[in-house]
Structure formats: C-alpha cells, structure tokens
Amino acid sequence: MSTPLILLILAIIAIVCYVVGTRHALAIAGGVSSKLHSRPGYYGTFVALCAVLPAAIILAVWLIVSPFYINSTVLGGFPEDVRAKSQAEQGLAFGMVSSLARGMDVLTLDEIDSVGADPVALRSALGAKGLPLAGDPEPYMVESAGDLNAMNKISNRLMTAIVLIVALIGAGFSYTRISHRFRARNRVEKVILGSLVVASSIAIITTIGIVLSMLTEAGHFFGRVPAWEFFFGTVWDPRFAAAGATASEGQFGLIPLLLGTLYIGFVAMLVAVPVGLFSAIYMAEYASPKVRGVAKPLLEVLAGIPTIVYGFFALTTVGPFLRDISSKINGIATGDFANFIQAQSVLTAGFVMGIMLIPYVSSLSDDIITAVPRALRDGSLGLGATKSETIKKVVMPAALPGVVGALLMTASRAIGETMIVVLAAGVAARMQLNPFEPMTTVTVKIVSQLTGDLEFTSPQTLVAFALGITLFVITLCLNIYALFIVRKYREQYE
Amino acid sequence: MTDAVSFPAGASAKPARRDIGIKRRYAAERRFRAYGIAALSFGILFLFILLYSVVSKGYTAFQQTMITIPVEFSEQIIDKDNERATDPSKLMTANYPVVARNALAKVLGVAENDRQGLRAVNQMISDGVRGQLRDMVTANPQIVGTTQTVSLLAAGDIDSAFKGQIDLTVSENNRKVSDQQVGWMNQLAESGALGKHFNTGIFVNGNSSRPEAAGVGVALIGSFYMMAIVLVLSLPIGVAASIYLEEFAPKNKFTDLIEVNINNLAAVPSIVYGLLGLAVFINFMGLPRSASLVGGLVLTLMTLPTIIIATRAALKAVPPSIRAAALGLGASKMQTIFHHVLPLAMPGILTGTIIGLAHALGETAPLLLIGMVAFVANYPTTPMDPSTALPVQIYMWANEAERAFVERTSGAIIILLLFLVVMNVGAILLRRRFERRW
C-alpha cells in the first residue's frame, strides 16, 4: 500500500475511534456525563490517540530506516569486482539498478518474459516505456534490480501489516481502559504537552541543523584546502575546473571577501547611523504626535521593502546616477569625461544598504531613547540646559549602551545582507581601499559558488559552507554581544 | 530671568549680565533640530525616490502593444500536402511565424519578394505568435484556409518604441528599430491596428527569453505554494512553541537555551537558511532541487522565530484575570489556555503571522541557493515540481541585458509590492479591528 493510503486509513481509524470512544464512555455513564472523570470527548480523543500515535511513529521510523537497510543489502549483493571500485562508481551502478527496478515495475509480466535475461533488449523495452537508461545494464544489475523490487515489496507489506495491527491493538487496548474513574483528560493533556515541547525544541533543532550541516560540509572543504590557507589567504581564485579536469585546485582566500564585506558594511553604517539616530532623536524628542504618527510608519515602510527591490534600485538608478555624475564632475574639473565611480561599486552598494538600514537604527534607538526616564530630562531642563544639550549630555549617555546594542544588531544585518550586494557590489574579489571601485562580499560568493550545477565533492562548491559558517559565527557573536549589552543596560532603571 | 537680573534699582550702569552664550546655545539648538529634520526627510525622500523610480519604470509593463490584423491561415504554408487529417503533428510544427509575417506584410503593402522588407516586417512581431497561432489552429483545425482577425503580440523593441522608451533621435544604426519600422508602426497606429492593450500576459505567462512574452504566472504559483507551506507549518508549530515557552516552561537552563536560541535565529542572515536547506533538505534528504516544497520548508524555518516572538507578546498581553477566572471555575490549565487565552491572543498572533509571511514572500537569497533560479516556463502542478518565486523572478530579470526587461522587472516589483501592501494593510486592519485594551 502506498504511504498516503496508509495515512488516510489511519485518519479514518482515528475518526472512528473518537466516535466509538465517546459513545462508549457515555454509555458507561448511563448517558450522564457528569458521572465520568473527564468530559466524554476526552475518552474519544484518548482512544484515537492510542490507536494512531504509535502506528504513525512506527510508520515514520520505518519509512526513514528501511531504504538505508535495503540499499546496503543490495549494494552488498554486487559482485566483488564492482564493490572494489570507488564510491562514485558504486553510486552510478546503484542508480542504474534503481532505475531498472522502477522500470521492471512498469513492464507487464509478458514483456519481462519476452525480454528474458537480455540486458540490451531490456533497455530498449524500457526506453519504449519512456524510461531511458544511461547505458546497457550488466546482468548482475538486472538481478540486483529484481532483488531490490522483491525486498521493497516485502518491506512495504510488512510495514502496512505492522502499522495497521499496532493501530488496532492500540484502539482495542484503550477501549477496554475506559471506565468511570479513568482519567482520560490527564492522559490527553500529557500528549498535548509533549507535542508543545517537541514544537519548541524545533528552534534548537534548527540551530543544531545549521551548525552541523555547515560544519560537516566545511569539514569536507578543510579536508581539501588547509584551514589556514582559507582564513589567512589573500587571493580568491576558486577556478571553476572544467568537468573532468582535476588539474588546478584554485585559491580560496577569505581575506579579500571579508574586507569587502566589512568595507561595504562600514559605508552602509556611515549612512544609516547618523540618519537613523538623528531621525530617532527628532521623533522621540521634538516631533509633535502628528508628525511622529506620519513619519514613523513611513520610515518603517523602508524596512518592509524586500532587499531585492533595493538591489534593483541600486543597479538601475543609483549606480548609473553615480557613474554619470562622476563623469560630469571629472569633466568639469579636468576636461576628461571618464567616470571615476563605477556603476557597481562599494559606494553604490553601501549607500543603498545604508538606506535599507535606516529604519532598523531609528526604530531600535527610538525605543531606547523613549525608555530613558522622564525625570532625567526634567532635571536637566530645570537646571537651564537647552533641549539639545539635554539630549547630548543626559539622554544619549543614558541611552548609549542600548544604542550601541542596536547598532551592533544593525551591523550584523549589514554583514549578512545578500541581494543588494549581489546586484550592486560586483563580483571581483580585490583588496583595495577605493570606495568607487567594485569589491565583493562573503554573501555574494556564497551565491555565486552555489548557483548553477553543483557537485558536492568539489572544493569550489564546499567553500560556500566554509564561508557560511564564518558568516554565521560573525553575526552570532555580534548579536550575542548586542543582547548582552542591551540586557545589562535594561537593569539600570528597574 | 531678565526680570530677576534687572530688579535692583539704579543698577543699570552695571556691566551686562554674565555672558552665558545664550545666542550661541540657541543657534546650536536650532542646528541640532535641523539635523533631525534633515535626517528624517532624507529617509523619507529616499523612500519616495525608490518608489518613484520603480513605478515610473514599471507602470508601462501593464500595457502591451498588440497588432490586430486579419491573418490568413494559408493552407499553402501550414499544411502544403494536406496531411493534417492523417498526421496531426503537422499542425504542431507548421511555420506559423511566416503566416503572421505575411499577414502583416499584406497590410503594410510589402511585396512578397522583398526579402529585406519581409525581414523587417518579421522583426515587428514577437516570436510568441508561433504558440499563439498554433494554439488557435490546434483548438479549431477548421480555421486553416480561412482568414481571421487576430491580435498579435508586437515585438519587444516595437513595444518599447511605441511606449516612447527608445530615443528615436539617435542615429538609426544605434538603435534596435529602423526608421522604416517606426514609420510602419505609426502607420499601423493611425489605422488603429496597432495599439496598447491591458497586459494580462504579465500575470499569467511563464518565464520567457522574449521580454514581450515573459510573465510572472509561474512565479506567482510557486510563491503561492511556498506561502501555503509556510502558513500550514509555521503557524501551528510557532503557536505551540510559544504556548509552551510562555505558559508551561519551567525556568531552567534548557528553556533559557531555547529562548536565547530563538532570539538569535531571528537575526541569522537569511542566506544561512539557504545553506541549511541545501545541505539538509536537498543533499541529505534527497528532496528535488528547485521545488517549492524545499523553498517552503526553508522559509518556514526562517519565519518561525518571528511568529514565536509575536505570539509570545500576544499571549503575555492577555491579563492574568482571564486565566484566574477560568482556573477558578475548574478548568484545567490546558483548557484555560486553549479555550480562553489563545482565542483572546489570536488577533495578535495572526498579525505577527501575516507580517512574517510578508517578510518570507519578499525573501530571495535562500531561494537562490536551493536552485529556484531556474528557467521555468511551465506551470508547476504540485509543490514537488520545479518552480520559481516572485522575488527570484525579479532577480533573474534584473540580470537580463535587454532594455525591455527593465520595464518587466519594475512591473514584477510593483506586483510584489502590491501583495506586500495588501498583507500589511490586512495586518494593520486586523490589529485595529480586534485589538483589545485591557
């Protein structure tokens, strides 16, 4: 039976169990539900859970484990000379076997008889059914494919039988447990609580997944390229080797990418921090409620615009504008109308990213500034300070730890930002300090190494995971440090 | 203060009161204030520049130049040997562009042996007419041999020229439309055969290498699948996790860890989730690349922290008196939460969910890594089929060199922004309508 069908049957069993359990509980109580410990529905739910839950768990485990077992058995059945070959070749052979097995399911018995044991005829027969094979199968493959089909069939039958039997046993057992004093509600609530715990541990699982997946893939990469060459290398030249060619490994130096990332992030912060901070100060301290009510949502719209839109804006509007204006300035100054700002440059990407970051800076600092107690301001104003003096000398120092935390969080966003730099920063990994020239970032290289055809064994692909873990660690440190600062600050006025 | 100083009578000869630099300080005050206004205006100004640049480039994408002319479905060209009864594939492979070209040439009065003229005529019609005429003929083979009035898609360059996006003052050699073609275009426009129509194609077509025939239909379906998956997975999981953390979790190391974790996950760069999806869902679990299922799963993981944070805030906002009342009437803790607290917190939870979904809808970077940058021209039927997403489509078009794609890209951005506006306005209305102040 196919898995969706089994699931459907389980769902039907659950519904039947619920109805039967509820009725049975009411019947035991003689129709007076107050005689029962729990409300009748809980008995029904209990029966349904007992029937379906263990069965579903067995089904899931079986579906995950059985392919591993069957595949290794089939691989073990390959002839000695095939098993002596490399992993990749064994994988190819296994791929052939599994497509053969799929094909043999499609063929009717008569067709299999007519083809007999002739692999070439088998291939053409499968081709006619719309299942082309990559090459002529060898005789042992046909045999293995037969084994594979047989084992899959047995496994499926066994699984169906066990799952359904377990469901029926669960239903029968829980049905007999129903009585006046049986605490069905407590049991059901325990299951609900369990599912709540499972749901909240998904956050942990995600983190573990991120760290483990990147560590393993990055580990493969560091097996090919020494870690110190990656972390301290100053040349980025991964050299996409042509298929089959194994000559050059390329150089994977992180430093130029990191430099580009930090440089563009720095330019972005140069735009975002003053604009964001002054906007926040103005909105928190000066603006009338009316102005604030209009300006704050407008600034927050900037945060809601997808980054791909900013990237397109940088690519088609800001970049060409800066290029043209630079050529005009150059022309007026020297008479030579060559542009000195490239359309894709650190400045373009940094500037547009800065605009994107304004609302992050402003709304985070706005909250922090308004959280500074009124009394501090009143004290300062009462002593004759002007409003701006109060802000500069009293409010900002009090808000400083929180603001620094907010800026660190913003910086981590700038470092992890992808789409703007992909479209506006360029792809050349260079080490230079001219903001008018293109540079590239860690995120750009992750994207460019992983789009297109992938081969999970080449360092050209695996390097993306090493870059990813670097990015993850940097942003994580920035965020933890920011949280630490913000928490420390928060305790001051409580 | 001036009053207080001038109080002593006859003290007018005294030197002016101590200079505390009031003028300088007030100037500094005004300057400071001006900085604030300048910063705020800078941010808002750029919001409008951004929107203006997108809208001014993109609004024309919703109109498409069409050429409406009588087309003769000539038997000579489509089915010379009269084989269509026995061999239906004849109708599939017939040379339809020539049919369209001849029809236009006839209207324009270009002779059938004027090869250069015919080539110029051919360049005025989109190559998309091949599919259009083929579909007409296969749907109704009777029309072969008759003449029908058909609206043909104009070529991308003619479309741009007609919308005035091509500078016709530059030398003929430096632009993609010749003077002859512009003349024909004006002639057709005057006769009413050529005109702008509402462009339904941009909403329903799949991707195409020809800008005039390219649309975001496939991307919309892909985005829809992903949003459905994100909603179905992240809302229940997020709500369950928040209920546990907010209502049940004991204060211990483990729950502390979960909490720090969730805050950090919300700040992890989105591209890292793409790497996770690539390594776990595609490489380890063997799910198909480019499938909206994988995209949905990745975006779910990305959205979960947002939803959890919003849900916890909403649960916290429900006053303890509600809980106390339910518990006092004999409800169990579970019943209290599911029957009373959760329904009251629902508007806040839904608002957070919609905002999380809107964020996920605009997310591009993780989708690039799981192979959604694929040229997909056919509609996906299940979430396992290759598809693409709206922001990824924008990214792909932004990389196209052709001028006409800038217009398409901006048009697609407008569609994306409209969706985001609808979602965010929905969230705001939901909050206004159902939010309670206790």
Taking residues B94-118, what's their average pLDDT?
81
Question: Reduced to 3 states, what is the DSSP secondary structure of residue B70?
Answer: strand
**B269 contacts A475? CB cut-off 8 A:** yes
Taking residues A202-217, what's their average pLDDT?
86
Taking residues B41-65, what's their average pLDDT?
91
* Residue B352, number of CB atoms within 10 A of its CB: 25
Start-to-end C-alpha separation, chain B: 46
Interchain CB contact of A480 with B (< 8 Å): yes
Contacts of B368 (CB under 8 A, 6+ apart): A447, A450, A451, B274, B392, B395
Per-residue pLDDT tens digits for B175-231:
778 888 888 888 888 888 888 888 888 888 888 878 888 888 889 999 999 999 999
Write down how long chain B is. 438
Residue of A nearest to B372 (CA): A451
Q: Write the DSSP string, B176-206.
A: SS-HHHHHHHHHHHHHTSEEEEE--HHHH--
Alpha-carbon distance of B363 to B369, in angstroms, equals 12
Stretch among A125-139, A148-162, A250-264, B193-207 having the lowest mean pLDDT: A125-139
Per-residue pLDDT tens digits for A311-323:
999 999 999 999 9
Better-scored residue on pLDDT, A99 or A273: A273
Q: Percentage of chain B surpassing pLDDT 70?
A: 95
Per-residue pLDDT tens digits for A337-378:
788 888 889 999 999 999 999 999 998 899 889 888 899 999
Whole-number pLDDT of residue A134: 64
Q: With a CB-CB cutoff of 8 Å, which residues 352-381 of chain A face chain B? A: 355, 358-359, 362
* Distance to chain A for B114, nearest Cα, Å: 40
* Distance to chain A for B280, nearest Cα, Å: 7
Whole-number pLDDT of residue A119: 66
**B57 contacts A316? CB cut-off 8 A:** yes
Q: Which residue, chain included where needed, has tokens 């203060």?
A: B1
* pLDDT band, residue B90 (cuts 50/70/90): confident
Residues A60 and A151 grouped into a single domain: yes
How far does CA A314 lie from the centroid of its chain? 26
Backbone dihedral angles phi then psi of residue B196, each to the nearest 5 degrees = -90, 135
Which of these three, A139, A156, A182, is where a domain ends? A182
* Residue B6, number of CB atoms within 10 A of its CB: 12
Q: Which residues on A lie below 8 Å from B280 (Cβ)?
A: 209, 213
The answer, yes or no, to whether residue A197 has pLDDT greater than 60, is: yes
Of A204, A299, A419, which is closest to B258 when you measure between CB atoms?
A: A204
Residue A199 within any structural domain of the chain: no
Q: Percentage of chain B surpassing pLDDT 90?
A: 36
Q: Which residues on A lie below 8 Å from B365 (Cβ)?
A: 307, 418-419, 422, 443, 447
The answer, yes or no, to whether residue A490 has pLDDT greater than 70, is: no
Interchain CB contact of A410 with B (< 8 Å): no
Residues A452 and A352 grouped into a single domain: yes
Q: Which residues on B lie below 8 Å from A206 (Cβ)?
A: 265, 276, 301, 304
Residue A211 within any structural domain of the chain: no
DSSP B16: P
* pLDDT band, residue A147 (cuts 50/70/90): confident
Rounded to the nearest integer, the mean pLDDT of chain A is 85
Per-residue pLDDT tens digits for A6-40:
999 999 999 999 999 999 999 988 888 888 888 88
Structure-block tokens of residue A5: 């069908």
Per-residue pLDDT tens digits for A241-250:
544 444 456 7
Whole-number pLDDT of residue A265: 95
Q: With a CB-CB cutoff of 8 Å, which residues 328-357 of chain B face chain A? A: 332-334
* Distance to chain A for B303, nearest Cα, Å: 11
Residues A138 and A282 grouped into a single domain: no
Residues A99 and A244 grouped into a single domain: no
Of A197, A202, A286, which is closest to B36 when you measure between CB atoms?
A: A286
Whole-number pLDDT of residue A492: 58
Rounded to the nearest integer, the mean pLDDT of chain B is 85
Residue of B nearest to A281 (CA): B36
Whole-number pLDDT of residue B176: 77
Stretch among A428-432, B91-95, B423-427 having the lowest mean pLDDT: B91-95
CA-based nearest residue to A376, from A348, A396, A401? A396
Residues A161 and A270 grouped into a single domain: no
Residues A38 and A157 grouped into a single domain: yes
Number of domains in chain A: 2
Structure-block tokens of residue A107: 């063929």
Better-scored residue on pLDDT, B17 or B283: B283
Per-residue pLDDT tens digits for B293-311:
999 999 999 999 999 999 9
Per-residue pLDDT tens digits for B165-178:
777 777 777 777 88
Taking residues A173-186, what's their average pLDDT?
89
Which of these three, A182, A215, A249, is where a domain ends? A182
Its domain, for residue A53, covers: 3-182
**B394 contacts A312? CB cut-off 8 A:** yes
**B38 contacts A213? CB cut-off 8 A:** no
**B32 contacts A302? CB cut-off 8 A:** no
Please tell me which of A425-429, B26-30, B380-384 the model is most confident about, judged by mean pLDDT. Answer: B26-30
Q: Percentage of chain A surpassing pLDDT 70?
A: 88
Please tell me which of A220-234, B327-341, B395-409 the model is most confident about, judged by mean pLDDT. Answer: B327-341
Of B248, B260, B416, which is closest to A193 when you measure between CB atoms?
A: B248
Taking residues A405-429, what's their average pLDDT?
90
Residue A187 within any structural domain of the chain: no
Residue A220 within any structural domain of the chain: no
Residue of A nearest to B258 (CA): A204
Q: Report ipTM for this prediction.
A: 0.87
**A195 contacts B417? CB cut-off 8 A:** no
Whole-number pLDDT of residue A242: 47
Residue A192 within any structural domain of the chain: no
Alpha-carbon distance of A331 to A341, in angstroms, equals 13
Note whether B58 and A291 are within 8 A (CB).
no
Pick the CATH number of B217-434 from 3.90.79.10, 1.10.3720.10, 3.30.750.24, 3.90.226.10: 1.10.3720.10
Question: Reduced to 3 states, what is the DSSP secondary structure of residue A321?
Answer: helix
